[in-house]
Amino acid sequence: MSATFDSGTFSPDPGVGSRLRMLAVHTRTETLLALRHSEQLLLTLVIPLALLVGLTLLEGLVELPEPRVNAALGTVLALAMMSTGFTSQAIALGFDRRYGLMRRLAATAIPRWLVVTGRLGGMAAVVVIQVVVLSAVALALGWRPDGGSIGWALLLVLLGAGAFGACGLLLGGSVRADLVLVIANVVWFVLLFVGGIVVPADQLPGALGIVVEYLPSGALAEGLRSVLLGGTPGLGHVVVLLVWGAVAGLVAARTLKWD
């Protein structure tokens, strides 16, 4: 493994690369890694798909308004955002930190805000794939979308991805990787069943039904079901998602550890 190097091979010629290229390559890498990771795919695509089919076809599972496929699509889109933005993002960041990625990137000329932007870019690419795949399967199951509901639904998906993404960065960027793994998975399970995603808020017992409306899971799922069933989102849902996104984002920016 001995090598001879031509004179001038390492002659210094440094310079900061193009920001756009940094962002493009970073986003591409993040996307590739998210799609290559089978456990993440299970969380982000397989489980939402299975749930979409199950909720639509198995009427006894959960009480849903007709047309069931519209409500089910709302449910699984909310789940998909939680999976990608929160659980998957937090775990990936936690382990990237453990493997010294942040220290490695901090030593290059890439600005820190771009590192975060690249991560969000990768997340956005996964969200697009999720929305396309889940919508296509919903169409096959009989979903008939109308123009107005799609616009509202996309807005809510965007806000939901932002709110969960900020929470994911907050958790993954501040705690030890093995702890991130536990917390991110437990929260995912809890919110899935009693956070307003699978079981709608009005079917949850007592105070819980009120509380979940203020969680990003409840606000997003309730909002999405409402607009996909032909209604408009409550202003409350939009505000809840905005507040979670802004607060978690600000705290994450302060607590994100670069080692």
Partner 1 sequence: MGAQPAVEVRDLVVRYGATTAVDGLDLDLRHGRVLALLGPNGAGKTTTVEVCEGFRSRTSGSVRVLGADPTGAPEALRARMGVMPQGGGAYPMVRVREMLDLVAACSARPLDTGWLVETLGLASCAKLPYKRLSGGQQQRLSLACAVVGRPELVFLDEPTASLDPQGRHLVWDLVRAMRADGVAVLLTTHFMQEAEALADDVVIVDHGRVVAAGSPDELTTSGAEDTMRFRAPPGMDLALLDDVLPEGHLSKEGPPGHYTVSGHIDPQVLAAVTAWCARQGVLADDVRVGRRSLEDVFLELTGRDLRS
**Taking a C-beta distance cutoff of 8 angstroms, is the pair 210, 231 a contact?**
no
CA 23 to chain centroid: 19
Task: Provide the binding-site residues for partner 1, judged by CB under 8 A.
Answer: 1-5, 7-18, 21-22, 24-26, 29, 32-33, 36-37, 95-96, 98-111
φ, ψ for residue 176, nearest 5 deg: -60, 145
User: Nearest approach, Cβ of 187 to partner 1 (angstroms)?
Assistant: 22
Nearer to partner 1, 14 or 205 (CB): 14
CA proximity to 258, closest of 120, 122, 115 = 115
Nearer to partner 1, 1 or 235 (CB): 1
Question: What's the rounded Cα separation, in Å, for the pair 101 and 112?
Answer: 13
User: Nearest approach, Cβ of 28 to partner 1 (angstroms)?
Assistant: 9
User: Nearest approach, Cβ of 257 to partner 1 (angstroms)?
Assistant: 13
Task: Find the farthest-apart pair of alpha carbons in the chain and give their distance in angstroms, rounded.
Answer: 77
| Cis peptide upstream of residue 67 (ω within 30 degrees of 0) | yes
Nearer to partner 1, 189 or 258 (CB): 258
Tokens of 53: 């089919």
Tokens of 20: 């756009």
- State the angle between helix axes of 19-36 and 112-140 in degrees (0 to 180), rounded to the nearest 10: 50
User: Nearest approach, Cβ of 3 to partner 1 (angstroms)?
Assistant: 5
Question: What's the rounded Cα separation, in Å, for the pair 141 and 50?
Answer: 12
Nearer to partner 1, 50 or 106 (CB): 106
Please name the residue that has the structure tokens 């919110």.
Answer: 191
Nearer to partner 1, 69 or 105 (CB): 105
Nearer to partner 1, 108 or 232 (CB): 108
